[in-house]
Amino acid sequence: MSLDHYVTLGRSGLRVSPLCLGAMTFGEDLGWGSSVEESQQIMDRFIAAGGNFIDTANFYTMSHSEKIIGDHIGRDPAKRDRLVIATKFSGNLYPGDPNGGGSGRKSVINACEHSLRRLQTDYIDLYWLHNWDVHTPIDETMAALEDLVRSGKVRYIGVSDTPAWKVAQANVMAQFRGWSSFIGLQIEYSLLERSVEQELVPMAQELGLGITPWSPLKSGVLSGKYTRTSAADKASRAFAGTFLNEKAYALVDELGIIAKAHDSTVARVALAWVRMQPGVSSTIIGARRLSQLEDNLKSLELVLTAAELAHLDALSKPAFGFPQSMQPMFPSIHHGGNTVNGVYAPPSPFVIDKTAKPY
């Protein structure tokens, strides 16, 4: 696979590259990240390689991320029109203003207008609800988003960091009312963060939302730069935080073995695993340096074997709570003694004797 082997995002006709360029690191306003010049170089390299999907948010680097994209791409109509530019609302940039953030109609429309100005474009390809606002009815948010779509200021809508039941409620309601529904689901997903497989991933597959994982390298823990004895700089370790533990180191060891077999790197193997998971459309990669982008792009050349995928799956398999914790027994209850869709289950111990009559 290469970056110009495009896929449709969820149940939509929007074509996106299999890797999405995350722009959270654009700008050094918070004391870390990429300079304006290097951010521009990263965008140019991504686009030259065939990438067409760039993701940002009104909140990133105090809105500077959007401005960097707008200054470099928004002023070039030909370049802008071939790209899928995604941004998010919900973040409040105005302390003291209760309507400066969240998902109410006043905030959503105002945030969109400001993002359009900073991005120097008259439309947003994909507008994400950044995270669930418990103080706003979801029908108000969906109605406001529908107005933006009908006005032409937004082409598609997506949702990020929101419970599965709330996303399902929003989409089913929107479909019944003839409104635009979410086509993408942005969630944290990696070999060290698989809890999303309990509810969010199956929900996305059932409702046709394309999954765009963020932090596929778990804040750099799965990049390969951290080992039990490494002395990585304090700034980068700050992002890794408490994730650097024996479980993570053991997983990185196994990733290293697979990487060596493919003449590849730990980071590329971790990215390939995420890309090959069911329901994943486009994986968000962040790069503070051009060299990091180059390494991440090469993950598309890597195809893990079924045995390698199974091995990594077993090493990182999460323990689910109720009701998923009961699912292993369901096949025996539903079709014990038979094979259905390739799944065989032994008879349940509760079944009656064949010769006996049910009560």
Instruction: Name 250's Cβ contacts closer than 8 Å, sequence gap at least 6.
Output: 315
**Per-residue tokens: 63:** 């809105």
Antiparallel, parallel or unpaired: β 210-214 and 15-16: unpaired
Please report the sign of the dihedral spanned by the C-alpha atoms of residue 150, residue 155, residue 159, residue 164. Answer: positive
The Cα diameter of the chain in Å comes to 79
CA triple 236-43-30, angle to 5 deg:
35
Alpha-carbon distance of 304 to 71, in angstroms, equals: 39
The CB density around residue 158, as the number of other CB atoms within 10 Å, is 27
What are the percentages of helix, strand and coil residues in the chain, rounded to 5? 45, 15, 40
164-177 vs 138-151: helix crossing angle, rounded to 10: 50
Closest to 43 in 3D by CA, of 2, 77, 79: 79
Catalytic residue among 6, 60, 94, 344: 60
Say whether 280 sits in a helix, a strand or coil.
strand
| CB burial string 214-236: b at 16+ within 10 A, e below | bbbbbbbbbbbbbeeeeeeeeee
Active site residue 189: no
Residues tagged active-site: 60
